């Protein structure tokens, strides 16, 4: 039977790119994009959906005959610290609604994105293993660590095929990030191409695991299309791209823009980043479903600059 896929949080940084990839793989008529904000530029079906409202979610699922859900809606690490209890309530309620509706509707698959934000100060800082001790320092990270346990519970108790990746910071030219601690790594390229000064909210030497959008999307599809028997980890897989710091990015950007100006003004997001790993180990993803990143820092920078120049200076 043809998959009918619902993307929740379709207007987000990852969601907006994932919708197009899913439409390409499943067909335009077999993907429903949804978001709490109605403005979008998708072709195909779009529904305004508040995923905290289980009745609304069920109505969309039943009206389209949805068989898979990609749940990309969440309050992210930086934004989430402004209202901790609200962040917890929203992130957990949306996940519970997705898991329950998927269970009752006997759906084929659910994708639930986790994050390196699940790691805290008690995890190894370098080459952090999949089974590291999780003591997240943000409410967003707590909601993702708890969400991983709930995903595994729904698999073990009900057989629901929920799959998850711990995304690093995602860098892409196709969309803007929305309230994360790694947002600087997208904003910096827009400032460089506009030849404007960039004010970085992290210290120059804050190394974090990052991944190019195209790698993140491919990893998601490779995970979701892997045979069920190959998925050995039902909490979430570590996903590594490459690790680098703001000053590493600046060094590469200045190969294209020698006069690129940067000021470092660390804020509360530096305290969040300081508790995250510098690099993570994704051996299990490589072993279980063949993961291998394709974009390193050099290719990320050249691609971001090339693509953003097309957006900002089309005539060039």
Q: What is residue 212's three-state secondary structure? A: strand
Name the active-site residue from 140, 154, 167, 184.
140
Q: What single DSSP character describes residue 68? A: E
Interface stretch with ligand VAH, choices 22-30, 94-102, 179-187, 224-232 (CB under 6 A): 179-187
* Nearest distance, CB of residue 209 and ligand VAH, angstroms: 7
Choices 92-100, 127-135, 165-173, 243-251 (CB under 6 A): range interacting with ligand VAH: 165-173
How many residues touch ligand VAH under the rule CB under 6 A: the total is 13
Binding of residue 128 to ligand VAH (CB under 6 A):
no
- Helix, strand, coil shares, percent, the chain, to 5: 45, 15, 40
Task: Retrieve residue 265's tokens.
Answer: 């003004």
d(CA 242, CA 63): 41
When asked if residue 137 is in the footprint of ligand VAH (CB under 6 A), the reply is no
- DSSP string across 176-204: ---S-TTTHHHHHHHHHHTT--EEESS-T
Residue 243 CA, distance from chain mean position = 16
Secondary structure letter of residue 209 according to DSSP: E
Query: Which of 169, 241, 246, 293 is in the footprint of ligand VAH by CB under 6 A?
Result: 169
Q: What does the block give as tokens for 164?
A: 């998850």
What is the sign, positive or negative, of the torsion defined by CA atoms of 295, 298, 300, 305?
negative
Contact string 53-82 vs ligand VAH (x = CB under 6 A): -----------------------xx-----
Q: Is 140 a catalytic residue?
A: yes
Q: Cα-atom radius of gyration of the chain, to the nearest Å?
A: 19
Question: CB of 182: closest distance to ligand VAH in angstroms?
Answer: 4
Q: Is 168 in the site for ligand VAH (CB under 6 A)?
A: yes
Site for ligand VAH in 75-114 (CB under 6 A): 76-77
> Does residue 9 belong to the site contacting ligand VAH (CB under 6 A)?
no
In this chain, which of 117, 118, 137, 186 binds ligand VAH, going by CB under 6 A? 117
Residue nearest to ligand VAH (CB): 180
Binding of ligand VAH at residue 207 (CB under 6 A)?
A: no
Burial pattern 6-42, b for ≥16 Cβ within 10 A else e, equals bbbbbbbbbbbbbbbebbeeeeeebbbbbbbeeeeeb
The correct pick among 11, 128, 181, 245 for binding ligand VAH (CB under 6 A) is 181
**Segment lying near ligand VAH (by CB under 6 A), choices 28-36, 176-184, 194-202, 248-256:** 176-184
Closest CA to 191 of 253, 140, 149: 253
Q: Which residues are catalytic?
A: 140
Footprint of ligand VAH (CB under 6 A): 76-77, 115-117, 140, 167-169, 177, 180-182
């Amino acid at each position: 039977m043809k998959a009918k896929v619902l993307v929740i949080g379709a207007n987000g940084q990852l969601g907006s790119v994932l919708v197009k990839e899913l439409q390409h793989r499943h067909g335009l008529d077999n993907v429903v994009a949804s978001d709490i904000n109605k403005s979008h530029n998708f072709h195909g079906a779009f529904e305004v959906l508040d995923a905290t409202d289980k009745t609304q979610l069920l109505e969309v699922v039943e009206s389209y005959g949805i068989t898979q859900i990609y749940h990309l809606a969440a309050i992210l690490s930086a934004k989430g610290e402004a209202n901790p209890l609200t962040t917890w309530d929203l992130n957990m309620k949306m996940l519970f609604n997705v898991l329950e509706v998927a269970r009752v509707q006997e759906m084929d698959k659910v994708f639930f994105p986790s994050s390196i934000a699940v790691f805290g100060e008690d995890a190894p800082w370098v080459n952090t293993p999949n089974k590291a001790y999780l003591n997240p320092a943000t409410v967003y990270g707590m909601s993702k660590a708890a969400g991983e346990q709930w995903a595994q519970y729904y698999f073990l108790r009900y057989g629901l095929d929920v799959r998850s990746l711990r995304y690093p910071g995602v860098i892409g030219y196709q969309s803007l990030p929305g309230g994360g601690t790694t947002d600087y790594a997208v904003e910096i390229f827009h400032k460089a191409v506009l030849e404007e000064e960039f004010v970085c909210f992290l210290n120059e030497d804050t190394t974090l695991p990052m991944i190019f959008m195209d790698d993140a999307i491919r990893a998601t599809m490779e995970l979701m299309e892997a045979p069920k028997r190959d998925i050995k980890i039902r909490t979430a897989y570590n996903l590594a791209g490459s690790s680098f710091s703001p000053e590493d990015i600046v060094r590469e950007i200045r190969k294209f823009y020698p006069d690129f100006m940067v000021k470092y003004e660390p804020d509360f997001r530096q305290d969040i980043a300081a508790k995250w790993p510098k690099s993570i180990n994704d051996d299990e993803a490589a072993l279980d479903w063949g993961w291998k990143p394709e974009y390193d820092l050099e290719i990320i920078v050249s691609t971001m600059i090339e693509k953003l120049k097309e957006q900002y200076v089309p005539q060039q």
